[in-house]
Amino acid sequence: MFLDIFKLVLDSDDRTVGGGSASALAGAMAAGMASMVAKLSAEKPVNFTVEQYEEIIRELEECKEALLKGSEQDNEAYLGIKNAYALPKETDEEKEVRKQAIRDAAYVAACVPRDNGMRDKRVYELVCALEGNSNPACTSDLLSAKYLSASGVRGCALNIEANLPLIKNEEREKELTQSMEELVQSVSFSWT
């Protein structure tokens, strides 16, 4: 599963996988690295108990798996929009069916990065919790995880924003805009 979506993201000729899938993969990679740091830190605890590290590891592993699946779901959501645009539009009835299908597909295509962004945000929070509480030899790994997860959050927010104009439903747009703003405000992107 992971290698397939990873290969698709890296394939510059494949136009079906984009920033949403890449943002979910960034979070999955961050979760994997942070989990490794937590495991190494549990061997010689730094400020946390072994049980606290184990809880962080468990949650990071869950996030990683969910984000890998979320990367695939983002690709599927894009294909849903593509399929909606391919619907016939010869008659007025067909045009209305097509318009609604595009709106519904766009909503799904915005909800997927919203959900992935929330998972990326949780990875970011767990990475921040490990800062100063982990094996000092792993500082570069932990900072890499921090920047990857923050990038994933921001990328997911951008993908929500990209789909908003297609939704054409004020209530749904408001809900998603609030989620997008929450995501953007949740990460600090300084190089320290």
Q: Is 91 exposed, middle or buried (0-12, 13-18, 19+ CB in 10 A)?
A: exposed
Q: How confident is the model over 73-86, as a mean pLDDT?
A: 95
Q: How confident is the model over 173-179, as a mean pLDDT?
A: 96
pLDDT band for position 16 (50/70/90)?
Answer: low
The maximal CA–CA distance of the chain, rounded, in angstroms, is: 69
Nearest 5°: CA angle at 132, between 131 and 135? 95
Q: Is 69 exposed, middle or buried (0-12, 13-18, 19+ CB in 10 A)?
A: middle
- pLDDT on residue 19: 86
- pLDDT on residue 3: 55
pLDDT at 15 over 70: no
> Among residues of the chain, what percentage have pLDDT more than 90?
86
Q: Please name each of the domains of the chain with its CATH number.
A: 17-185 (1.20.120.680)
Using CA atoms, how far apart are residues 128 and 106, in angstroms rounded to an integer?
A: 33
pLDDT band for position 114 (50/70/90)?
Answer: very high
Q: How confident is the model over 142-169, as a mean pLDDT?
A: 96
pLDDT at 64 over 80: yes
